[in-house]
Amino acid sequence: MNIFWLSFKDFTRFDFFKYALLSTLISFSFMMIVGYYSFTSIKAYLDALFTPESEGFFAWLYSFAFVSIIINSFNFLIVGFFVIFSSSAISLFILSFFTPKIVAKINAKYYKYELKERVSDLSILLEMFKILLKFISLFFLALILFFIPFVNLIAFFLAFYYLFHNALVLEVLSAVLDKKKFKEQNSTPFEFKFYTLIFYFLASFPFVGLVLQLFFVIFLIHLSYQKIYFLSPKFDNVSSST
């Protein structure tokens, strides 16, 4: 069966979808609280900075109702986008705690691969630390190129894609692969880079990335078993598996 439809089928099952609901609820609720206080704090700061008693052009301009509405609307949009995209990142982080359970269920249902030795938590943390260091370097490079039109967009796009791809792949492969296979996996196959690039584009749309985090994980789990272990899904007694 096509990996996409197999992943979509699993994604829509409540046995898996409950993890997406939980991670989304926690992350979005937290960021809504942060967003609310950020919006009100910025609005209060602007109101205090440009009081009717203040002098100057900007204070006079801010005194007009339509200007105040435009500025506060802009404030709301910025905070709103921050909440949405931050929620997606936090949701993926929360979902990583459930990934081993998701992997175990998919493995038991389709592949029945016996894991010899699990990847240690210390190894995962070290790999994540390396990824973050490289991302910080790429991010500062992007900042240097900030004032060059178009180049700055490409630089930031590549920096955040690097973080997205490597964090997502690390989350999945550390749960799917055994310790020896994980160490031998110096670079991910081309298929992983191709699909994570598509996922990255999808995640850039508001709420889409927040909802589809689980699908990304499930898809990469199936891809790992089929492209790294070269296993085919077994559909015997699937309906009775959990």
Asked if residue 90 is part of any domain, the answer here is yes
Question: For residue 169, what pLDDT is reported?
Answer: 93
Domain presence at residue 215: yes
Range of 49's domain?
A: 3-233
Domain count of the chain? 1
Q: pLDDT tens digits, the chain, 242 residues: what are they?
A: 589 999 999 999 988 988 888 888 888 788 778 888 888 888 787 777 766 666 676 666 767 777 777 877 877 777 776 777 677 778 888 888 999 999 999 999 999 998 888 888 888 999 999 999 998 999 888 888 877 777 877 888 888 889 889 999 999 999 999 988 888 877 778 889 999 999 988 887 767 777 888 999 999 999 999 999 999 888 765 444 44
Report if residue 198 sits inside a domain: yes
Nearest CA to 19 out of 75, 83, 80, 97 is that of 97
pTM: 0.79
DSSP secondary-structure letter at 119? P
Residue 81: inside a domain, yes or no?
A: yes
- Residues in Cβ contact with 162 at an 8 Å cutoff, skipping those fewer than 6 apart: 131, 134, 135, 138
Say if 37 falls within a structural domain: yes
Confidence (pLDDT) at 240: 42
Does the residue 110 lie in any domain?
A: yes
Distance CA(130)–CA(136), nearest Å, equals: 10
Q: Give the per-residue pLDDT at 10.
A: 93
d(CA 117, CA 120): 9
DSSP 8-state secondary structure symbol assigned to residue 107:
I
Asked if the structure places residue 60 within a domain, the reply is yes
DSSP 197-236: HHHHHHHTSTTHHHHHHHHHHHHHHHHHHHHTS------T
Whether residue 47 is contained in a domain is answered as yes
| pLDDT at site 66 | 76
